[in-house]
Homo-oligomer: A and B are copies of this chain.
Amino acid sequence: MKTKKVAIVGASGYSGEELVRLLLSHPHVDLIAVTSRQYAGQTLAQVFPRFASHPKSRTIRFTEPNVELLAKQAEVVFLALPHGVAAEYAAPLTQRGIVVIDLSADFRVKNPAVYREFYGHDHPAPELLSKAVYGLPEIYRDRIKETSLVASPGCYPTSILLPVIPLLKAKLINPRSIIADSLSGVSGAGRKAELDYLFVECNESMRPYAVPKHRHLSEIEQELSFAAGAAVTIQFTPHLIPVNRGILTTLYLAPTEPINESKGAAAVGEQVAACYQSAYGQEPFVRLLEGKSLPDTKSVVGTNVIEFAWRLDPRTGRLIVMSAEDNLVKGASGQAVQSMNIVCGFPETAGLA
């Protein structure tokens, strides 16, 4: 299989570092450039000592990002940049025929008005929005195959969308009932020198933040609305937890059929099981937990797997779904590589197993 030449723009944060890790060992990728204003001139080995044993870590040197050069050298470019900045690179690179996998929020939200509401500024490249495909392979695999601009989803959205979309499509839950309570490791805040993310401020601390209107709601509600065929508004509360990596989401859902009598519970249970089996039974990166198992982030950290379990509560009539993923892998860089594999025609699990 022919190897692709790949570059990463903005490789200095935690998602960028994880992309470097995945691409250095990807069997069909030749990592040829990494850019970072902050680290320009230094080698990969100097900036990320953990990669220092890889032979390329001493030959690849961070450069200032340069669209012309990138377009000449690379066939695929990953953008690990802040929102608003990514679009500046996506537009000219896409125009020159380069495959762009964007990890920022810039092309996830289809409606520029919603983008402005949640991000506080006008969309920087609205003309590209129709071209971009939301990079959730389990949902949009066929469309990802055809695009050259992937808007790779955020970490919270992945942990919510994958468990909820099949239930909405199958009309098993009430779209107005959705509550998502999420716990995130500190790497989710990025590699930023801010007091709030110091070790002493996070360790031995648990705290909610961005209540009640986190930015990721824009893409979550868009995708849930597509699945439901009607506008969906959800409740979402993120919390910061002292672990390096991982997202654990607990979803509170109301089945469309009441399940307060035990007979109902069994019937709804079979429908939920069948729905998930049909949606994900063959998916390499979705693990449906069985028996008494409940998700635990330590079972998925370092992998591209998202795992779920669900319980029907006959006392309250609710369906509880719990998911766990690595926020930097299935919630960011792993999923981006999965999309690249699809776009480029590689086996979908290449470099991710």
Contact = CB atoms under 8 A, between A and B. Distances in A.
A294 B186 contact: no
A264 interface: no
Nearest to A188: B200
Nearest to A206: B248
B49 A211 contact: no
A181 interface: yes
A138 interface: no
Contacts of A338: none
A202 interface: yes
A203 to B, nearest CB: 5
Interface string A36-74: 000000000000011011100000000000000000000
B241 A183 contact: yes
B244 A200 contact: yes
Nearest to A181: B181
Oligomeric state, in copies: 4
Contacts of A199: 186, 197-199, 201-203, 242, 244
A94 interface: no
A83 to B, nearest CB: 21
A233 interface: yes
Contacts of A239: 183, 248, 250
Given A212-B311, A305-B53, A237 B287 contact: no
A248 B246 CA distance: 18
13 contacts: A49-B293, A50-B299, A52-B287, A53-B285, A53-B287, A199-B199, A204-B245, A206-B246, A207-B295, A208-B250, A233-B316, A237-B250, A242-B242
Interface of A: 14, 25, 49-50, 52-54, 179, 181, 183, 185-187, 191-195, 197-209, 211-213, 233-235, 237, 239, 241-246, 248, 250, 252, 284-285, 287, 289, 293-303, 305, 307, 311, 313, 315-316, 318, 320, 322, 324, 353
